[in-house]
């Protein structure tokens, strides 16, 4: 069930010379990365350097943007993500994604889980309930909502909504979780709670998180990828283990950025 | 930003406009109530539904039974909404999620044009085209069904435009997050986006209902106007609005007053619908 149980040292996902264009403009170019299994990889860098676009290309959410063109190669295990015959519905079951703003669906908490689970073939009521509960426990929301699973998910606070979205993704038992600044729209206390639960997921899922909060990246990430944008679009300047990148970055751009000198 | 010195003037103008609008509305309601007083005092509003027949002009024993017309109005209105709502929803979903940009603009243009056609033209079209077709199935042709279809066509633009706007206002992230959970396109549309807009869809239906309730000219032309409670879709019916338009020209005294009372009834129904819309909107804000 869990991809991290076998402790395989190989990368969960890789990209090779990945380039993304919106119309004629490149969002990022030639990104070749290995995303290690069961670790947290943080993408840092100034706004507009292609981090979010990179994240969305990994589960082919970029397919939904009409002018968007992705070239290069992405693999998830043996799967060629960008191949035209790849089943994107199945792909997105394996790769969960959480957005900047929490967006629970406008119906009950229970149905927020039941809808995607049913879509992916989980039909039995008991299994839906059991997976909902397990996912809600994983994000520490179960005790807060167990008595109001029939209430609208939009009645929850912002922080609770974001944890609900995280749980909704976890209920599908994905291999990889993509997080696009999941804490940036939350107050510090809610943000800390979400971050705590991300920490607790470490080792169970492969996580890729975009964050503008360098302290957060340093606290939770195993590896850090530094994006930077110049005239020709975004690119990866440097990547490596979190301590190496924050303590002895090789590139002067990285050194300056992690010291908070620009960006 | 407006310079500070201009504000009192602007404020005065705006306030006067708002007050003027309210005053006119209050005066209209007061006028309708005033004109109804005769029949309300001498007969009572309840005779509109307790009297067996509609003979308001009788010198000896006037009766004010408007039940056939109330039923006709409600059936025509409800029927039109039942026909137009699913069509409008499908149309709005199509232009939002399936149509190309050009097709979308074309459809929207046509719909806006449809909204601008005078109601008498709809009536004429119904009378010359729709009624003969219905007559081929079952006579006389001028019928409740003809009224429902013409009304449905007339309220369709309101429904499409309002639902289209509601769907367009859904945050883009909602569709993205649904797609990221691996939901198919049709599932995203029908299980996530349309339910999120249900309040606006409710508002659209209520506004369309109010429009259908008040429509006069088109239904007058196609419904046949027999004062008889309909027992089938092919029966001729008269709506309250058509009745007012048909009889006001020669109505006098109590008869005239009874027509105003039926107008008051319509006003009350529309008032209820507006209150319903207000309730829906209030729940959106909280």
**Residue showing tokens 């589960």:** A59
Q: How many CB atoms are closer than 10 A to CB A258?
A: 20
Q: Which residues pair with A33 in a beta bridge?
A: A15
CATH number of the domain within which B155 lies:
1.10.3720.10
**Chain A to chain B, count of Cβ pairs less than 8 Å apart?**
63
* Per-run averaged pLDDT (10 residues), chain B, 286 residues: 68 94 95 91 83 87 89 95 96 92 92 91 95 91 94 94 92 90 92 90 92 92 91 92 93 89 91 90 62
- ipTM of model over 0.85: yes
- Answer whether B182 sits within 8 Å of A93, measured CB to CB: yes
For the cut 70, the answer to whether the pLDDT of residue A157 exceeds it is yes
**A52 vs A46: CA distance, rounded Å:** 11
Torsion angle of C-alpha atoms B135, B205, B112, B17, degrees rounded to 10? 130
Q: In the sheet where A95-98 sits, what is the strand order? A: A79-80, A68-76, A11-22, A25-36, A233-241, A223-230, A40-44, A206-210, A176-180, A95-98
Contact at CB, B178 and A119, closer than 8 angstroms: no
Distance from CA of A256 to the nearest CA of B (A): 33
Chain B residue with the nearest C-alpha to that of A171: B181
Q: In chain A, where are the structural domains located?
A: 11-105+175-194+202-258
In this complex, is the C-beta atom of A184 within 8 Å of any C-beta atom belonging to chain B?
no
Let me know: does B149 contact B226? Beta carbons within 8 Å: no
Q: Domain containing B217: what range?
A: 68-249
Chain B contacts of A96, Cβ < 8 Å? 180-181
Q: Return the percentage of chain A with pLDDT > 90, whole number.
A: 61
Q: Do B192 and A99 touch (CB under 8 A)?
A: no
Cα three-residue angle B29-B33-B39, rounded to 5 degrees: 155
Q: Give domain status of residue B88, yes or no.
A: yes
- How far is residue B181's CA from residue A174's CA, in Å, rounded to a whole number? 10
**DSSP structural state of residue B2:** -
Of A101, A169, A178, the CB nearest to B173: A101
C-alpha torsion angle, residues A183, A188, A192, A195 (rounded to 10): 10
Q: Please give the structure tokens belonging to residue B266.
A: 């319509």
Q: How many CA atoms lie within 13 A of A74 on its CB side?
A: 22
Closest CA to A142 of A150, A133, A152, A151: A133
| Min distance B170 CA to chain A CA atoms (Å) | 11
Domain membership of residue B17 (yes or no) is no
Separation in Å, CA of B171 to nearest CA in chain A: 9
- Put simply, the answer to whether B177 touches A97 (Cβ < 8 Å) is yes
- Check pLDDT > 90 for residue A3: no
**d(Cα B114, Cα B125) in Å, to the nearest integer?**
13
Residues of A in contact with B173 (CB under 8 A): 99-101, 103
Confidence of residue A41 (pLDDT cuts 50, 70, 90): very high
**One-character DSSP codes across B194-252:** HHHTHHHHHHHHHHHHHHHHH--HHHHHHSB---S--SSTTS-B--HHHHHHHHTTT--
Residue B56, pLDDT score: 87
Residue A127 forms contact with B (CB below 8 Å): no
Q: Is the domain defined by A11-105+175-194+202-258 classed in CATH 3.40.50.300? A: yes
Residues of B in contact with A105 (CB under 8 A): 174, 178, 191-192, 195-196
Contact assignment for B182 to A103 by CB distance below 8 Å: no
Q: Say if B234 falls within a structural domain.
A: yes
Bridge-partner residues for A234, per DSSP? A28, A229
Average pLDDT over chain A, rounded to whole?
89
The residues on B that touch A, with CB distances below 8 Å, are 171, 173-184, 187, 191-192, 195-196, 198
Question: Which of B96, B181, B183, B280 to mutate to test binding with chain A, by most A CBs within 10 Å of its CB?
Answer: B181
Task: Specify the higher pLDDT residue, A11 or A28.
Answer: A28
Interface test with B, best of A59, A87, A89 (most B CBs within 10 A): A89
Q: Is A144 exposed, middle or buried (0-12, 13-18, 19+ CB in 10 A)?
A: middle
């Amino acid at each position: 069930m869990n991809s991290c149980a076998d402790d395989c040292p190989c990368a969960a996902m890789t990209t090779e010379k990945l380039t993304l264009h919106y119309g004629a403009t490149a969002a990022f170019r030639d990104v070749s990365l290995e995303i290690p299994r069961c670790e947290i990889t943080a993408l840092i860098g100034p706004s507009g350097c292609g981090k979010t676009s990179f994240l969305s290309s990994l589960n082919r959410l970029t397919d939904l943007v009409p002018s968007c063109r992705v070239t290069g190669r992405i693999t998830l295990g043996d799967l060629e993500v960008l191949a035209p015959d790849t089943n994107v519905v199945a792909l997105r079951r394996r790769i969960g994604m959480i957005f900047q703003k929490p967006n629970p669906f406008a119906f009950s908490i229970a149905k927020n889980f039941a809808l995607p689970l049913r879509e992916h073939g989980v039909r039995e009521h008991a299994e839906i309930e059991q997976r909902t509960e397990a996912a809600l426990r994983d994000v520490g929301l179960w005790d807060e909502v167990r008595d109001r699973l029939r209430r609208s998910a939009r009645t929850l606070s912002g922080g609770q909504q974001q944890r609900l979205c995280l749980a909704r993704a976890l209920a599908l038992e994905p291999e990889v979780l993509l997080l696009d600044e999941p804490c940036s729209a939350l107050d510090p206390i809610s943000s800390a709670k979400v971050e705590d639960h991300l920490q607790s997921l470490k080792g169970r899922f492969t996580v890729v998180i975009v964050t503008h909060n360098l302290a957060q990246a340093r606290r939770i990430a195993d590896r850090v990828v530094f994006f930077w944008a110049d005239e020709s679009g975004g690119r990866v300047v440097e990547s490596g283990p979190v301590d190496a990148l924050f303590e002895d970055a090789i590139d002067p751009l990285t050194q300056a950025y992690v010291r908070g000198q620009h960006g | 930003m407006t310079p500070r010195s201009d504000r009192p003037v602007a404020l005065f103008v705006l306030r006067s406009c708002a007050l003027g609008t309210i005053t006119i509305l209050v005066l209209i309601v007061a006028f309708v109530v005033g004109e109804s007083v005769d029949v309300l005092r001498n007969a009572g509003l309840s005779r509109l539904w307790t009297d067996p027949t509609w003979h308001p002009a009788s010198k000896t024993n006037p009766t004010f039974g408007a039940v056939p017309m109330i039923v006709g109005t409600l059936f025509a209105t409800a029927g039109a909404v039942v026909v137009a709502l699913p069509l409008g929803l499908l149309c709005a979903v199509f232009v939002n999620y399936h149509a190309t940009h050009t097709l979308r603009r074309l459809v929207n243009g046509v719909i806006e044009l449809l909204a601008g056609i005078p109601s008498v033209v709809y009536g004429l079209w119904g009378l010359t085209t729709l009624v003969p077709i219905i007559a081929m199935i079952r006579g006389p042709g001028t019928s409740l069904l003809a009224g429902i279809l013409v009304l449905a066509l007339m309220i369709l633009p309101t429904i499409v435009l309002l639902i289209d706007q509601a769907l367009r206002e859904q945050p883009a992230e909602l569709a993205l997050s649904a797609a990221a959970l691996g939901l198919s396109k049709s599932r995203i549309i029908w299980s996530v986006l349309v339910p999120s807009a249900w309040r606006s869809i409710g508002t659209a239906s209520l506004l369309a209902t109010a429009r259908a309730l008040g429509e006069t000219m088109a239904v007058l032309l196609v419904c046949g106007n027999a004062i008889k409670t309909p027992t089938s879709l092919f029966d001729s019916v008269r709506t309250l609005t058509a009745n007012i338009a048909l009889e006001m020209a020669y109505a006098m005294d109590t008869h005239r007053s009874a027509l105003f009372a039926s107008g008051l009834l319509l006003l009350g129904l529309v008032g209820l619908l507006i209150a319903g819309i207000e309730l829906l909107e209030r729940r959106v804000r909280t």
